[in-house]
Structure 1
Amino acid sequence: MEIIHHGAASGVTGSCHELVVSEDVSVLIDIGLFQGAETSGSEGARGGSNENNQAIDFSIERVKALIITHCHIDHVGRLPWLLIAGFRGPIFCTRATAHLLPMVIEDALKVGMTRNREVIQGVLGTLASMLTPADFDDWVQVLPELKVRFRQAGHILGSAYVECQKMGSLSRSSGTLASALPTKAIDYPEVNKVPELHLTDPNFLVVFSGDLGCKNSPLLPDPTPLERADMLVLESTYGDKNHENRSERQARLKRVVERCVKDRGAVLIPAFSIGRTQELLYELEDIIFECKSREGAREGNIWQDIIVIVDSPMAAEFTRQYRKMRDLWDAEALGRVADDRHPLNFKRMHIVDTHAEHHRLVNYLKSTGEPCIVIAASGMCTGGRMVNYLRALLPDPRTDVLFVGYQAAGTPGRDIQTYGPGGGYVELEGQRIWIKAQIHTLGGYSAHADQQELIDFIANAEQVKHVRLVHGDANVQREFRGVLQHRFPNMKIDCACDQ
């Protein structure tokens, strides 16, 4: 089997990999949107597109199915363009991803293509007819030539790494792929289940990591340990560094917010609607709960009146869906619910629904400096309501901007992160904004496994013969390759950026 990289070969967006099963049959693993500098392909990202065109620039004639690891935009955002290119094969993913995906695609259509309701509903109807949800850990038949299994990745709700294996012999032949396809929109958790197929004669196994999460992340189970791989296509977003631990990051978050309250300013947290927003709410509820139990203490008074504002309709909707899919939470989160706590819907949390309310809030904070925490998209400051907050509040020294996720090269988030601490500026929607706000980065809140966790993912497997690094800046891939070669001297290790 051959692997062709159509995105995330030398960057961290636009994930798309083609697994060629035979001369005229292949499948795609993910079909992500390019962002930041990678939209131009200027840094060599294969499959790169220009800023306003995410069109599919490779042949899909032999592509018979799409496999989705999770529904972040950099892994699914080019799906509308894939449909425009004529793809109508089945789309395999976990049940939670199947439930969340239509909302992500609807948002992508509104932002990048059209707001015509009839067109959007037509795309979503087509998408619903193609979705084929599967349970974690069940082998399912994707094509006559291929079976796959989704394993828990611990990145966002429903995220998976995918094991792909050429077909052995089937122990039963009943059930067809067509009968497994849902004929109406997904309504979690009553989605149709793909018939489980009992397979024997294991052959060459290719594993696509998708995005691997950190251990001990809020809400989510840890990634399922890797068993084996003949070839592992591994993300390397943080292949060059290790995160601070969870207790350290929560303590830093607490200190930043307390500084904000003291200075009568706002804390702005650019966050992706799926995953980071929910984890932050979970952590903030815990800080507020712990401080409330010490009402007489000074810190209890500081946190008593803090308001946590979620100003993103999409993030608010995904938070509601996270609450709905509570069966996928980890034991710690379920324990809090059992104690009558509400980590994603607590008293001091406020959701901004309308654009009018959003603009009133931005103007109010600009003129008053009322202390609060604002969580809004986009996570890399490339658009969304966060841009309005940044334009209004970056010049205010009372403001704190807190980055909790990766900022790709060429995005405003990376520029703020790079030039903000020195009093530089950032271009936002064509306007130069000078930065007087305090800039912070909490690496521990990243949804991506760090260097040590990626090493452990390989080391805990019974056998891994070949590792190919993807989804990382080229210099990070190469640095991480050196680390892995030293740790695993008998393993073949290469980088997609060099292919």
Structure 2
Amino acid sequence: MDLPRITHHGAADGVTGSCHRLQITPDQALLVDCGLFQGEDAAGDDTLEQHQVTFPVHDLLAMVVTHVHIDHIGRLPYLLAAGYQGPIICSVPSARLLPLVIEDALKIGFTRDERMIRRFLDVVDERLTPIDYNTWHTVLDDPGHTVRVRLQRAGHILGSAYVEADIAHHTAGTRERIVFSGDLGAPHAPLLPAPKPPYRADRLVLESTYGNRRHDDRRNRRQRLKAAIDRALANRGTVIIPAFSIGRTQELLYELEGLIHNAPVRSDGTDWRNLEIIVDSPLAARFTAVYRDLKPHWDAEAHKRLRAGRHPLAFDNLYTVDDHDEHLQTVDYLARTGRPAVVIAASGMAAGGRVVNYLKRMLGDRRHCVLFVGYQGAGTPGRAIQQHGPDGGWVDLDGERHTIRARIETISGYSAHADQKGLVDFVRRMRRPPHTIHLVHGDPTAQQSLRRALEAWAEEAGHALTVHAATPDPP
């Protein structure tokens, strides 16, 4: 066996289920992420077996978390059930957010027994090892090897990181730097500093979610967001935005606060300052509160707003919906009255959660708009609405067929993922770029397109580079 060796137990031939293993010696390894499979990546109704951890855990020195989205940490309960007893290394913000995500995942997929959940979270809390960005953390130091990991800002969601693993082989007198990108954020994303590439990487495991696309720039996407809401004001309808509770929701609130702050009164007398922005997700509200607590990790632009006395995540027009009865009343009120509003609700791919109730009531009404601002995985209701909605199609929601008459819009620029240019720039701006890149976390079309773009850059730069799509490790 050639060592160190990288194997993939998720997100190799799909977008979700990120889980990558770095085998350093025959009996010592690192694990980077351990996420759930979603959409078409999920194996039909038998996801329980699919999510079981079948790879060895006894030799894991540590699990390193890139960020706390469920497709990167959702298999943590399965990992611990398989016997993993080591540390869970993550950034300082991720250590605040991870227990909230896991608690929600347990309630949805395992149990609602509060005592059992609390016992599990206590175990997780004991294992969490938060480390500061740009700080080396030693996970192994013996006569054969020294292995250190370092987290750098990835700009995807608060706390997100890419992982540098530095491996010194004392016997051979060599050193290798292997980088796992996690999910890289788009430049100029609200609230978060843009990711900066590492100085060097010998090998790189690189995400490719948007490897075949280019995003709108921030000014254009903000204008398109404003235009969609202006139409809702004119139509007396609701803009429904399916968004994940962490990351996308907070970025949208930040942008909406800016639009409301700068909006003039419209010629028809309607006023953005009277527009209700509704976050219908208790989990999103909890995440937003943590985001507010973690202001030191915001970017310079956000701090400028704070110094001006503005509150980007707690403004006057913002309302949160907590309990289920209030949620049902809100859906009914907006569907009946036609009061203009913006509703942000999970899940981001419309595969479940409260957003489904809004869609059931409003998809058939032309006054309303469904606005997608993130990736819609193949096999999800969000992808079906996105594809078939503009042609007056239909979508299956909870086993019922719903005709789509509402306006359907997509703003790709709000993706929390880097596009093809951002991914290529991450590689080419390294002072010592990698000789090998493993593409993960993307569908085949995206991976092939990114591979061609990376090979074209390497040829032009005269850099020897091998790029290949990762393949899943057999169970």
Q: TM-score range by the shorter chain?
A: over 0.9
Task: Pick from 16, 25, 31 the counterpart of residue 22 of structure 1.
Answer: 25
Instruction: Map Cα deviations across residues 248-304 of structure 1 (whole Å, 9 max, x no partner).
Output: 00000000001011111100000011110000000000000001xx34x53883313
Distance 1:93 1:143 in 2: 17
Which structure 2 residues correspond to residues 118-129 of structure 1 after superposition, within 5 A?
118-129=115-126
Aligned residues: 458
Partner of 1:231: 203
Contact 2:281 2:322 in 1 (8 A): yes
The reply to whether residue 217 of structure 1 matches residue 218 of structure 2 is no
Task: Pick from 338, 344, 348 the counterpart of residue 375 of structure 1.
Answer: 344
Where does structure 1 lack aligned partners over 5 or more consecutive residues?
42-48, 170-200
The reply to whether residue 287 of structure 1 matches residue 254 of structure 2 is no
Distance 2:33 2:82 in 1: 15
- Normalising by structure 2, report the TM-score: 0.94
Instruction: Map Cα deviations across residues 134-192 of structure 1 (whole Å, 9 max, x no partner).
Output: 000000012334210001111111110000011478xxxxxxxxxxxxxxxxxxxxxxx
Distance 1:338 1:414 in 2: 40
CA RMSD of superposed structures (Å): 1.6
Give the SS at the match of 2:9: strand
Contact 2:277 2:318 in 1 (8 A): yes
Which structure 2 residues correspond to residues 347-386 of structure 1 after superposition, within 5 A?
347-386=316-355
Which structure 2 residues correspond to residues 182-221 of structure 1 after superposition, within 5 A?
203-221=175-193
Task: Pick from 11, 15, 29 the counterpart of residue 12 of structure 1.
Answer: 15
How far is the alpha carbon of 1:62 from its aligned partner?
A: 2.2
Task: Pick from 222, 226, 235 the counterpart of residue 263 of structure 1.
Answer: 235
Of 363-372 and 279-288, more deviation after overlay is shown by: 363-372
How far is the alpha carbon of 1:65 from its aligned partner?
A: 1.4
How far is the alpha carbon of 1:364 from its aligned partner?
A: 1.4
Task: Pick from 94, 99, 118 the counterpart of residue 97 of structure 1.
Answer: 94
The reply to whether residue 40 of structure 1 matches residue 46 of structure 2 is no
Distance 1:359 1:57 in 2: 41
Which structure 2 residues correspond to residues 460-471 of structure 1 after superposition, within 5 A?
460-464=429-433, 465-471=435-441
Matched to 1:203, the amino acid is R
The reply to whether residue 495 of structure 1 matches residue 469 of structure 2 is yes
Task: Pick from 48, 51, 69 the counterpart of residue 47 of structure 2.
Answer: 51
Which structure 2 residues correspond to residues 422-441 of structure 1 after superposition, within 5 A?
422-441=391-410
Instruction: Map Cα deviations across residues 305-336 of structure 1 (whole Å, 9 max, x no partner).
Output: 11000000010111010000000000100000
Which structure 2 residues correspond to residues 132-211 of structure 1 after superposition, within 5 A?
132-144=129-141, 145-167=146-168, 203-211=175-183
Instruction: Map Cα deviations across residues 39-70 of structure 1 (whole Å, 9 max, x no partner).
Output: 118xxxxxxx9334422232323223100001
Contact 2:437 2:466 in 1 (8 A): yes
How far is the alpha carbon of 1:85 from its aligned partner?
A: 1.1
Give the SS at the match of 1:332: helix
Matched to 1:50, the amino acid is D
Matched to 1:4, the amino acid is T
Distance 1:321 1:353 in 2: 16
How far is the alpha carbon of 1:224 from its aligned partner?
A: 2.1
Cα distance change of structure 1 residues 431 and 52 upon mapping to structure 2, 3 Å threshold: farther
Contact 1:474 1:497 in 2 (8 A): no
Matched to 1:364, the amino acid is Y
Partner of 1:452: 421
Contact 2:155 2:192 in 1 (8 A): yes
Instruction: Map Cα deviations across residues 178-210 of structure 1 (whole Å, 9 max, x no partner).
Output: xxxxxxxxxxxxxxxxxxxxxxx8711100000
How far is the alpha carbon of 1:419 from its aligned partner?
A: 1.0
Contact 1:258 1:302 in 2 (8 A): no
Contact 1:77 1:105 in 2 (8 A): yes
Give the SS at the match of 1:107: helix
Matched to 2:230, the amino acid is E
Matched to 2:392, the amino acid is G
Distance 2:384 2:84 in 1: 37
Distance 1:213 1:434 in 2: 35
Contact 2:168 2:176 in 1 (8 A): no
Distance 1:7 1:57 in 2: 12
Distance 2:153 2:374 in 1: 21
- Normalising by structure 1, report the TM-score: 0.89
Give the SS at the match of 1:204: strand
Give the SS at the match of 2:408: strand
Distance 2:267 2:288 in 1: 31
Give the SS at the match of 1:488: helix
Give the SS at the match of 1:31: coil
Matched to 1:153, the amino acid is A
Partner of 2:454: 484
Of 51-60 and 221-230, more deviation after overlay is shown by: 51-60
Partner of 1:193: none
How far is the alpha carbon of 1:426 from its aligned partner?
A: 1.0
Contact 1:165 1:202 in 2 (8 A): no
Contact 1:205 1:231 in 2 (8 A): yes
Matched to 1:21, the amino acid is I
Cα distance change of structure 1 residues 73 and 498 upon mapping to structure 2, 3 Å threshold: closer
Give the SS at the match of 2:157: coil
Distance 1:244 1:367 in 2: 34
